[in-house]
Amino acid sequence: MIEFKNTTKIYENNVFALSNINLDIDRGEFVFLVGPSGAGKSTFIKLLFKEIEPTTGRVLVNGEDITKIKRKDVPYYRRKIGMVFQDFRLIPTLNVYENVAFAMRVVEGSRRDIKKRVPMVLSMVGLSKKYKCFPNELSGGEQQRVALARAIVNNPSVLIADEPTGNLDPDTSVEIMKILNDINHAGTTIIMATHDKGIVNSMKKRVIAIEKGVIVRDEQRGRYGYED
């Protein structure tokens, strides 16, 4: 599903963000990406989302070498990838329904498909009754649910979550993780970068730990392994 093959990323001043990464993630896996700040997690995600290119090596998604995708074709590739951020990134002038529908309009979804799919995903994240609300009328947890709905509305094969619970209280974080777990059980591969030790240790999923650009641990049913 996802493969890193001898993948290295070197930034300016000869800073190694990732060094010779070799990794396979199977379809339908739920993987936590952990490690101290500056370890290389963000670089890993940016390579997958094709925001940056590796210095050497390859990155394959669904068997396609994304390092060879031309710039003009990157938006088409990203349609297959859902992305959730710590800061939600909702459009403040659009209501809940419109924020989620916008993701379908970007990929030229039909009006009929939008009317069918958007209510379905809003129901999945528990926001059916809030579809007319604007982001500033929602709690942080509700905004993150909208962001999740937007990320999955186009039925991506991969969902990347970058610290999705970072700004949320513990109870709300548990609710968001339950939704992510449900999405995963429906078949979507999930890669989540996090510093939340409690979530990682309680869910017992695969844990990939990165330090100084190198994978130092890759465990099924793993633990966080870092002190705050």
pLDDT by position in tens, the chain (length 228): 999 999 999 998 888 999 999 999 999 999 999 999 889 999 999 999 999 999 999 999 999 999 999 989 998 898 889 999 888 999 999 999 999 999 999 888 899 999 999 999 999 999 999 999 999 999 999 999 999 999 999 999 999 999 999 889 999 999 999 999 999 999 999 999 999 999 999 999 999 999 999 999 999 999 998 665
Measured distance CA(157)–CA(188) in Å, rounded = 5
Please report, as a single letter, which amino acid is at residue 225: G
8 Å CB contact between 195 and 32? no
What residue spans define the domains of the chain? 93-155
Measured distance CA(92)–CA(35) in Å, rounded = 32
Measured distance CA(125)–CA(109) in Å, rounded = 21
Measured distance CA(158)–CA(187) in Å, rounded = 9
Measured distance CA(9)–CA(25) in Å, rounded = 19
**Prediction pTM value:** 0.92
The DSSP-derived string for 98-143 is HHHHHHHHHTT--HHHHHHHHHHHHHHTT-GGGTT--GGGS-HHHH
